[in-house]
Structure 1
Amino acid sequence: MRRRSAVAALALLIGAKPGMPAAMTEHETLELPSGRLALMREGRGPLIVLLPSLGRGQEDFDDLAPRIAAAGFSVLRPEPRGIGGSAPLRPGATLHDMAADVAAAIEAEGAGPAIVAGHAAGNWVARVLSHDRPDLVRAVALLAAVTGTEVDPEIRRSITASFTLSLSDEERLSHLRRAYFAPGNDATVWLPGWHPEVSMAQRAAAAATADKAWLRAAERHPLLYVAAAEDAIAAPPSLAELQASLGPNVTRVVVEGAGHALVPEQPAAVAEALVAFARSLP
């Protein structure tokens, strides 16, 4: 069952080039056996699905999505469970359950197969979806995704501190700058938008996913890896490293002036990479 809001909100292109058209954001709720799932939609055209990072919501794509829509694509944004109008993840859920939500959203659109783009930890769900429902996936895009490299313990401490909302804004900002943002970029945009309980539920779902076949499942589809040049969490891998871990069908783009946050730092460059990749597909 699907419910569409009576009013569509106007999504303005923050920082967009003069003359770039705005896109209307339509809001909808799907009633699924796993609970309600809130969706946002912009644009018309071939479908691109955006999946945010660990414990963060679709607001991270508020600048990116209208840029992609303005290029002639339909953008679908399922709100992670536990955020906004989406019901929380149920106990015992796995990454397969999270991917099933995305599959249900694509099927409700009737517009697949889709390009599925996962930012950071969102890449887990994108890759599981490509494994479980290859019929719904046209291609996969990984944005600043960790592909198996070790993370420095100090950076891990800053990641944890980012979710510790009891810390002062000043202390959290220092951790955000260290872990997520390139020098000179405005880390205050990520002071809000953290959902510790959602993060814990998503981590639990990842830990409960015992099978590993999905780790290389994306190689059956064209794959784009968008790296952030100054990523302290996932240093840009070489093309050879990506081919070894993700398969031979990888396109690599490195975005300068960005850290692991990537999307709020360089939305125009990320949009350009996604649109160019989408247009290159058969």
Structure 2
Amino acid sequence: MRRRTAMALMPMVLSPWMAGATTVERKRLERGPVTIELLAEGQGPCIVLLPSLGRGQEDFDDIAPRLATAGFRVLRPEPRGIGGASPLASGATLHDMAADVAAAIEAEKAAPALVAGHAAGNWVARVLAHDRPELVRGVALLAAVTGTEIDPEIRRSITASFTLSLPEEERLSHLRRAYFAPGNDARVWLPGWHPQVSMAQRAAAAATTDKAWLRAADRHPLLYVAAAEDAIAAPPSLEELRASLGPQVTRVVVERAGHALVPEQPEAVAAALIAFARGLP
């Protein structure tokens, strides 16, 4: 049995601000020697949002208030190494990252939650569903890679997106190629990259050698939100998803979106999450 570490909630709540019609609280939690930074807003059943590789919770700034005003409690734990969150320690795995999310859900007394992971964030969502199934009522994967090969040129553009020393226009061309559907504004992703965080997250994924967590939908209902023009993870069929993820999969395809998805079509992503959450037992 995995050892659970005691966690304490610091009494300090850092300056709330308004996002749409909801007030966002920024909190800090202590889990042993680890500090977890958490954004929270809204009231109702809980939805937890996990961002993509090397990116922070600001990616959900347009989605979170939509969920909150629809009647949900939205929790956004900041990835380790971003903001006030402690960096990932050497040797950490996806199980350690999932334990941070579990601590946030428990501190807020928000279980069971719908846990949604964007792109690489889907790894943590699925590991949490495997390790702590009692905390999870459903899992949502947003533009998640499910095992397909990535074109070498696209992979090169992914790496270039984290290379902040490149000229802005060169980085912009890589962002357009790898992440955004034609016609969508890739400039919104010029900032917000954390190269050291992405390296630590990749190392944690590589150090996670067990594979039982890959089939999260064996235990929980699972929503796969595909981006119609995703150059990294082309939309799989429902049959392919059920073969790789388990039988309880629902599929939604968002048009005019690439792998970035969340900043491209926030209204459609929020609508898919709301509809799925309202249908969960």
Same fold by TM-score greater than 0.5:
yes
Alignment-mate amino acid for residue 272 of structure 1 = A
Matched, 1:7 2:15: yes
Identity of aligned residues (%): 79
Closer/same/farther in 2, CA of residues 101 and 6 from structure 1, 3 Å limit: closer
**CA distance in 2: counterparts of 1:97 and 1:250, whole angstroms:** 26
1:117 aligned residue: 116
1:16 aligned residue: none
1:191 aligned residue: 190
Alignment-mate amino acid for residue 162 of structure 2 = F
Alignment-mate amino acid for residue 161 of structure 1 = A
SS where residue 5 of structure 1 aligns? strand
Q: CA deviation at 1:10?
A: 1.0
Alignment-mate amino acid for residue 280 of structure 1 = G
Q: CA deviation at 1:58?
A: 0.2
Residues 29-64 of structure 1, C-alpha deviation per residue, up to 9 Å, x if partnerless? 001125100000011000000000000000000000
Closer/same/farther in 2, CA of residues 6 and 91 from structure 1, 3 Å limit: closer
2:4 aligned residue: none
Residues 131-168 of structure 1, C-alpha deviation per residue, up to 9 Å, x if partnerless? 10000000000000000000000000000000000001
Q: CA deviation at 1:2?
A: 1.5
Q: CA deviation at 1:217?
A: 3.0
**CA distance in 1: counterparts of 2:167 and 2:14, whole angstroms:** 39
Closer/same/farther in 2, CA of residues 244 and 34 from structure 1, 3 Å limit: farther
Equivalent residues of 1:181, 1:265 under 8 A apart: yes
Q: CA deviation at 1:115?
A: 0.2
Aligned length: 273
When normalised by structure 2's length, the TM-score is 0.96
When normalised by structure 1's length, the TM-score is 0.95
Matched, 1:38 2:46: no
1:211 aligned residue: 210
Alignment-mate amino acid for residue 7 of structure 1 = S
**CA distance in 1: counterparts of 2:123 and 2:58, whole angstroms:** 19
Equivalent residues of 1:34, 1:90 under 8 A apart: no
Equivalent residues of 2:22, 2:69 under 8 A apart: yes
Computed over aligned residues only, the root mean square deviation of the Cα atoms, in angstroms, reads: 0.8
